[in-house]
């Protein structure tokens, strides 16, 4: 019997090495090299002749017929928005998120909806028994004759069930629990995850089965396993949310069939996840009025405008190095805004702690929130209340200028729909569209003009 060869593989990037190293030479991560046994590769007799028979010929791109991919509506508007209109047959999706965030709940509800539309659904659970899945289905009301449940982790047995059921929609919960018997590694290892994902990709592409894989996440929030896993699938979705809040955010970071800027917002209740059609009202329900440091910013999440409250607190510090903390915003952008306020506006923050928070736990990653952060910080620093009917957005430059942002018209229309009376926005964003009636626009060129309009 031939001796198994041992190699060491990085769990972050998949780099292979013949010996163990503390630091991965590929991605530079520490303590990520794990021991793996190389799979035994059988000799392929007659492989060249088989390739000759099945090889496709290259075609000119002009002669290739183009058309829209068919979509399967999931019955959930928020999920359809993130996916780009619905599920694509034969696509392979990867869903990640913290434990208990609601991944299994969302997929079980989606499976029940698709089964109600006449599709055959197979839900494979490797972490829960069939009875546990049935208890969740009873609570969610996900009971359908065409929804099949299987508790199995052996890939060969899962393939047999797929051949018997012939599903239109397949859920694997989760990919880290499935293993191949011919791969000499433990379930969840780099080799097992890679080989099992490759097999499910072949099943999805050859059979036209829309397949969803549930993936575990690391402490940093990234999907566990090699980065190759995200490159193999067609769509990567992250399910986010705070444990202290009832709503959840579904965000796409990769999508070959749609945009990666869209988010779906759900509200977690006793009977499952409910889609939130108007998230702006949800984020502004507890907003205090007539206090300093509170500003409403108009943010864009894909094609959807979202109104969010941005709060700031500036307080004296007794330490030589003041603290700069932010939640929901990049702390580097907050440091930049504070530096602009010190240099251009003469505000002395060197003996002040500064805390910035996006109320509700949502994360804003666009520079349009810079001007709202500046207004909130100046409001708290001067202890002057902002006007409750104002909406602020704009990018702040290092010289104190306010730069234009995209989709200004969409942001203004959303502010008008929610009852706001005035919008402070960059002057350059007024080009190319006609402001709607019923709301006042205050165009500004610099941070000084914005603070004068918002606080005086």
Q: What is the C-alpha radius of gyration for the chain, rounded to an integer number of angstroms?
A: 26
Task: Render pLDDT for 29-76 as a digit per residue (tens, 0 to 9).
Answer: 888 888 877 655 555 544 444 444 456 788 898 888 877 778 999 989
For residues 438 and 384, state if they share a domain: yes
The ranges of the chain with pLDDT < 50 are 1, 45-53
For residues 252 and 327, state if they share a domain: no
For residues 93 and 229, state if they share a domain: yes
Q: What's the CA gap between 305 and 436, in Å, rounded?
A: 16
Annotated binding-site residues read 97-104
Pairing relation of β-strands 235-240 and 247-255?
A: antiparallel
Tokens of 125: 């659970």
pLDDT value for 205: 93
pLDDT value for 427: 95
What CATH number is attached to the domain comprising 82?
3.40.50.300
Domain annotation covers residue 62: no
For residues 226 and 97, state if they share a domain: yes
Q: What's the CA gap between 25 and 40, in Å, rounded?
A: 26
406 alpha-carbon distance from chain centroid: 21
CA 382, 295, 408, 249 torsion-angle sign: positive
What's the maximum distance between 2 C-alpha atoms anywhere in the chain?
84
Domain annotation covers residue 164: yes
In terms of residue numbers, what domain contains 19? 6-37
CA 323, 329, 334, 335 torsion-angle sign: positive
Domain annotation covers residue 247: yes
For residues 217 and 80, state if they share a domain: yes
pLDDT value for 55: 60
pLDDT value for 397: 95
For residues 376 and 394, state if they share a domain: yes
Domain annotation covers residue 353: yes
**Is 167 in contact with 148 (CB distance < 8 Å)?**
yes
Rounded to whole angstroms, what are the CA distances from 313 to 258, 322, 327, 336, 355?
A: 39, 13, 12, 16, 5
**Is 168 in contact with 207 (CB distance < 8 Å)?**
no
What CATH number is attached to the domain comprising 395?
3.30.230.10
Domain annotation covers residue 57: no
For residues 119 and 199, state if they share a domain: yes
| Bridge partner list, 16 | 9
For residues 265 and 399, state if they share a domain: no
pLDDT value for 360: 78
**Is 117 in contact with 140 (CB distance < 8 Å)?**
no
**Nearest of 252, 256, 204, 308 to residue 79 by alpha carbon:** 252
Rounded to whole angstroms, what are the CA distances from 304 to 261, 318, 344, 390, 393?
A: 9, 43, 33, 20, 15
Domain annotation covers residue 269: yes
Phi, psi of 254 (to 5 degrees): -155, 135
Rounded to whole angstroms, what are the CA distances from 286 to 114, 293, 311?
A: 36, 15, 12
Domain boundary among 261, 277, 293: 277
pLDDT value for 51: 41
Q: How many CB atoms lie within 10 A of CB 259?
A: 13
For residues 256 and 346, state if they share a domain: no
Annotated binding-site residues for ATP read 97-104
Rounded to whole angstroms, what are the CA distances from 35 to 8, 11, 29, 32, 186?
A: 5, 10, 16, 10, 11
Domain annotation covers residue 54: no
**Nearest of 83, 87, 92, 3 to residue 40 by alpha carbon:** 3
Domain boundary among 277, 297, 322: 277
Q: Strands, E, within 289-448: which ranges?
A: 294-301, 304-316, 324-327, 352-358, 390-392, 395-396, 402-403, 422-426, 440-444
Q: What is the DSSP letter of 266?
A: E
Number of domains in the chain: 3
The answer to pTM > 0.85 is no
- Complete DSSP assignment for 139-188: HHT---TTEEEEE--BHHHHHHHHHHH--SEEEEE-GGG-B-TTS-S-TT
Domain boundary among 255, 277, 299: 277
**Nearest of 76, 75, 73, 78 to residue 301 by alpha carbon:** 78
For residues 296 and 268, state if they share a domain: no
For residues 272 and 287, state if they share a domain: no
Domain annotation covers residue 45: no
For residues 273 and 371, state if they share a domain: no
């Amino acid at each position: 019997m031939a001796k198994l060869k041992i190699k060491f593989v990085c769990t972050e990037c998949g780099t292979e090495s013949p010996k163990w190293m503390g630091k991965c030479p590929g991605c530079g991560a520490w303590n990520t090299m794990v021991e793996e046994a190389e799979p035994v590769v059988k000799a392929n007799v007659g492989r060249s002749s088989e390739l000759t028979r099945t090889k496709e010929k290259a075609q000119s791109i002009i002669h290739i017929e183009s058309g829209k991919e068919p979509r399967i509506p999931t019955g959930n508007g928020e999920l359809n928005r993130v996916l780009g209109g619905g599920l694509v047959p034969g696509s392979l999706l990867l869903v990640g998120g913290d434990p208990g965030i609601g991944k299994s709940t969302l997929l079980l509800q989606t499976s029940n909806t698709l089964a109600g539309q006449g599709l055959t659904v197979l839900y494979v659970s490797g972490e829960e028994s069939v009875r546990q899945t049935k208890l969740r289905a009873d609570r969610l009301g996900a009971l359908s004759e065409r929804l099949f449940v299987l508790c199995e982790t052996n890939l060969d047995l899962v393939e047999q069930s797929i051949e018997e059921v012939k599903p239109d929609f397949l859920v694997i919960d989760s990919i880290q629990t499935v293993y191949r018997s011919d791969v000499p590694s433990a379930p969840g290892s780099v080799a097992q995850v890679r080989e099992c994902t490759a097999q499910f990709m072949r099943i999805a592409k050859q059979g036209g089965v829309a397949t969803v894989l549930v993936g575990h996440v690391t402490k940093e929030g990234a999907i566990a396993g090699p980065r190759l896993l995200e490159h193999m699938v067609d769509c990567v979705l992250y399910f986010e949310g705070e444990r202290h809040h009832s709503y959840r955010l579904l965000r796409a970071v990769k999508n070959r069939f749609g945009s990666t800027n869209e988010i779906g917002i759900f509200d977690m209740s006793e009977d499952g996840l409910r889609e939130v059609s108007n998230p702006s009202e949800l984020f502004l329900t507890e907003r205090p009025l007539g206090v300093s440091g509170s500003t409403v910013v108009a943010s864009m999440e894909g094609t959807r405008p979202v109104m969010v409250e941005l709060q700031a607190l500036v307080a004296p510090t007794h330490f030589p190095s003041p603290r700069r903390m932010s939640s929901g915003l990049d702390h580097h952008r907050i440091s930049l805004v504070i530096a602009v306020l010190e240099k251009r506006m003469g505000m002395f923050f060197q003996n002040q702690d500064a805390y910035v928070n996006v109320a509700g736990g949502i994360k804003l990653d666009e520079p349009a929130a810079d001007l709202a952060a500046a207004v909130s910080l100046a409001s708290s620093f001067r202890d002057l209340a902002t006007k409750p009917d104002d909406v602020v957005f704009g990018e702040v430059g290092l010289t104190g200028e306010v730069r234009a942002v995209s989709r200004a018209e969409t942001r203004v229309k959303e502010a008008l729909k929610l009852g706001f009376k005035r919008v402070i926005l960059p002057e350059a964003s007024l080009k190319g569209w006609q402001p709607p009636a019923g709301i006042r626009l205050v165009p500004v060129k610099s941070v000084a003009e914005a603070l004068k309009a918002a606080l005086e």
